[in-house]
Structure 1
Amino acid sequence: MAKTAVSSPRYSVSFAAIRCRFPTKITVLGLVLSMWLLTPPLWAQTVIYAGTLIDGTSDKPRNKVTIVIEDGKITGVSKGYLVFKKADRIIDLKSATVMPGLIDLHTHLSFELGPESYTEKFTQSTAEVALRSGVFAERTLMAGFTTVRDLGDRDNVTVVLRDNIQQGWVVGPRIFTSGKSLATTGGHADPTNGYRRDKAGDPGPREGVINGGDDARKAVRHRYKDGADLIKITATGGVLSVAKSGHNPQFTEAELEAVVGTANDYGFHVAAHAHGTEGIVRAVRAGVLTIEHGTFLNEEAMVLMKEKGAYLVPTLLAGDTVVAMAKQGGALPPVVAQKALEVGRLMRENFAKAYEMGVPIAFGTDSGVSKHGMNAREFGLMVNGGMPAMTAIQSATSVAAKVLDEPNLGTVAKGAHADLIAVEGNPLEDIAVLEKVAFVMKAGQVYKENGAPARSP
């Protein structure tokens, strides 16, 4: 990939003469003025020359395109390599494929599955969780994912992480977070599963555990109070929870309706972790926007999802990851390993059926189960399941942006956020090239170039 070419003005100034004329006031003024002059200027305009452009919405790529960026937004997308005499910065990506920043709709930035995962909740402080979350966030951005939807965290750290990324204290993607997931007592996201009651207590709506409509409404309002962007529920059992069933329904229809209705009052959409068929059907009927995993999807559930406009977020990478861990022996508790061996194959099979039936599908990995920064491996699993490469890319760009109701994300078009990535090679011919992102820009700022973290200006 060609190296970035940069041109910028130079500043020089002497305060000696000024000091002579204004000896009593110059010290503070000089310090302030010198700091301003020595601060690297913001690029007024950035021009990117893209050899190939996949814009996130069109079904065909374009060749030789000029993208103009100002104030973190795309202000122009033109055919050919236009000449700019006054552009502050020229980024030459003529040998690369340029795309919108990718969107992962299912991450867990406060967590990464490993041998100590089941004991770390007793040993890790909130500060330690938060610090590691910052590392995971940076890895995710450097992998080309400029936006994520985080679905279930510890101690609401992703709310603080989101805000500190926005304020520039931490490097990471844009985050839309649910905060803590909602569960029923003994359900998949009950934080006390598998532990002695006298040691773990009996959590309630504040901790995300509900029983009945009133609890459900209170739990949603707590998430609003905590600063969440959406609501995540665990509508069925799960794989990693220390509980026997991975697919039984765990919310009543009344509880689901209370969650969705209250969420809508606050402008939240609802994402539903759901493996089992009955739990999927109940959640979709109640009005959730996305079904996460969908392992035991059947034809009835698929038809209902199409009718209601609910999206499947398949998380195939998570299925592959837990199957591999279960086969290692000792990596997962026995009750968890048994469930893990069942889900991987079914996830892949029913993803393929859902795509063939026309169920809306949006990209999500469940990263945190898999390693953060490996998110793009999901693309290969989707393509192997029968989805064309361009459709898979759109599921992580314009389709994912539609789920978030963020039309200025997931596309390369005038007015969109300047979230861009570039890869060497053609992902339409070899989807695996998306696993080696060479260039990352978010909101007009370059975070990675020539395959390495960008140097500060």
Structure 2
Amino acid sequence: MQPFIMCKILSLFVCYLLLMFLVLFSTTIQAQNQPASKLLLHAARVFDGDNIRTDMSVVLKDGRVATIQPRAQTITDDDTLVMDLGDATIFPGFIELHAHLTYQNVPAEIVIRHGITTIRDLGGPVHAPYGGAGSLRVLTSGPIITASGGYPIVTMGAENLAIAVADEQEARAAVKQLAGKGAVIIKIALEPGGEAGAPWTSHHLHHHGSAHPESHHPGHDNDLHHATHHSQHKQAKWPVLSESVVKAIVDEAHHHKRKVSAHVAELTGVRIALNAGVDEWAHMPCESIPEALLKQAVMQQVKIISTIDTLSKCPGITHNAAIWAALGGELLYGSEIAHPDVPWGINAQELMVMMQTAKLDSLDAVRAATSKAGRHLGMPLLGTLQPGAPADLIAFKGNPLLNLKRLEYPDLVISGGHMIVNQFGPAR
């Protein structure tokens, strides 16, 4: 046989082997990304959304939690894939209630790999809920309703971020439009500006391109930036929505079975929000709020989204959090993903400052990011590992409750039964 022909045959054979390898590799990858019909997870510890349980097994089937029970009571069959995680801890996927994902172009695939399986995206384009089966579950508010020339328009413009309304009729129309397009909550701004230490007054919060997925603490440059703008903070007087307009927003939102979240940071906004019956404060207020008003908010069953880490320079934040907790107010986890100093995923620093300022233990803080957050969203099984819950879970080697920083780096992430991260090895 001539050398030329032999080379040609060998080339064809090599191509054939390469093609077969690619087909097998592609099939393997697809199989890993597809949910197993039934997946059984054993772990030394399981946090079910409410309590830690030891030596437990969780069965996932068809994208849902099928059972959670003691390992000794678990029976397997030939259709079940098994992962024995050993000395590990399983949690429901965390829920981030205050993010700016779309507006700031934060990659969803990074967020989910770092433990957040559901986010509520506040501000930005409005969409019907999407994701949750192998990708980040995203719930949106759509643009923030505000006064003409008010926050955030005055600092960042209106495009895809804010809707200005002048009266009750325009306010109701805006709510109806947002609800019709899939908004799960209506967000409004009651921000006159001028609070010392407030990041939004100095553009710090939403500055494009500055988000950093790993760092937590503002550097010296940011400290100088805040100090430089301190006098400007005191002078800011941005227009805010009137109480009658906010009442119309709340009434229309409730008619469409939506809650209203208000950006409030000082006394004026807090009073308007309370008098109008707003359901949620998007931040712990920046300025110190009188105890009587915080007590009124508790009585009205207002919920506060924490964001304490991002507002750490605000002089009233520690006082407000401590009084709120002492009064029995409900504090829910939100770390403001897209803020320059917040990780793109679980923020351990936020959990720790919640524990410090509101006197929570570690399980209380985790509940605020899981089961309590799911109930607040009107999705009571979300954020739990109860039967019927979405098969969203994260797991860690060892016990991350002993070192909360570990929560930022899951060893296992499952979304709707689909494997996203797996450092434990294949199911068998």
TM above 0.5: yes
Give the counterpart of 1:240 among 200, 205, 208: 200
CA contact (8 A) 1:313 1:364 kept: yes
Specify the code of the residue in structure 2 equivalent to 1:407.
P
Cα deviation code 1:238-260 (max 9, x no counterpart):
54256856797822110110111
The amino acid of 2:147's aligned partner reads T
Tell me how far apart the structure 2 counterparts of residues 416 and 249 of structure 1 sit (CA, whole Å): 43
Give CA deviations for 1:170-220 in whole Å, capped at 9, x if unaligned. x64211110111111222122xx259xxxx8xx799951112211211211
Matched, 1:220 2:153: no
1:177 aligns with 2:140: yes
What CA RMSD, in Å, does the superposition of the two structures yield over aligned residues?
Answer: 3.1
- If asked which structure has higher relative contact order (CA below 8 Å, sep 6+), I would say 2
Q: Which of 73, 95, 112 is the aligned partner of 2:64?
A: 73
Pair 1:263-2:253 in alignment: yes
1:361 to 310, 331, 338: 331
Which residue does the alignment assign to 2:409? 436
Corresponding residue of 1:64: 55
Equivalent position of 2:361 in the other structure: 388
Which residue of structure 1 aligns with residue 294 of structure 2?
Answer: 302
In structure 2, C-alpha distance between the alignment counterparts of 1:440 and 1:205, rounded to whole Å:
31
Length, aligned pairs only: 359
Identity of aligned residues (%): 25
The corresponding residue for 2:303 is 311
Instruction: Please state how far the C-alpha of 1:352 moved relative to its aligned partner.
Output: 2.4
| Aligned residue type for 1:350 | N
Change (3 A) 1:427 1:247: farther
Give the distance between the partners of 1:298 and 1:409, measured in 2 at CA: 34
Structure 1 distance, partners of 2:270, 2:317, is: 14
Q: CA deviation at 1:149?
A: 1.0
Give, in whole Å, the separation in 1 of the partners of 2:150 and 2:84: 52
- Structure 1's unaligned 5+ residue stretches are 1-34, 113-131, 321-340
Distance 1:279 1:394 in 2: 28
Structure 1: distance between partners of 2:173 and 2:85:
51
> What secondary structure does 1:51 align onto?
strand
Deviation readout 1:382-412 (Å, 9 max, x if unpaired): 1222221111011011111111010110111
1:271-325 deviations in Å (ceiling 9; x for gaps): 11110123123213322221122223331221112111111112012224xxxxx
Q: Distance in 1 between matches of 2:83 and 2:237?
A: 50
Task: Say if 1:210 and 1:392 are closer, same or farther in 2 by CA, change over 3 A.
Answer: same
Match of 1:159 in 2: 127
Q: Out of 18, 41, 44, which is 2:37 matched to?
A: 44
* 2:121 partner amino acid: D
Unaligned runs of 5+ in 2: 1-25, 194-198, 203-231
Question: Which of 71, 81, 90 lines up with 1:98 in the alignment?
Answer: 90
Letter in 2 for 1:229: V
Which of 47, 59, 68 aligns to 1:54? It is 47
How far does the alpha carbon of each residue in 1:41-79 deviate from its partner, in whole angstroms, 9 at most, with x for none? Answer: 752111011210111123xx1111011111111111111
Indicate if the aligned counterparts of 1:314 and 1:347 stay in contact, CA closer than 8 A.
Answer: no
- Normalising by the residue count of structure 2, what TM-score does the alignment of the two structures yield? 0.76
1:399 aligns with 2:367: no
Contact 1:205 1:218 in 2 (8 A): no
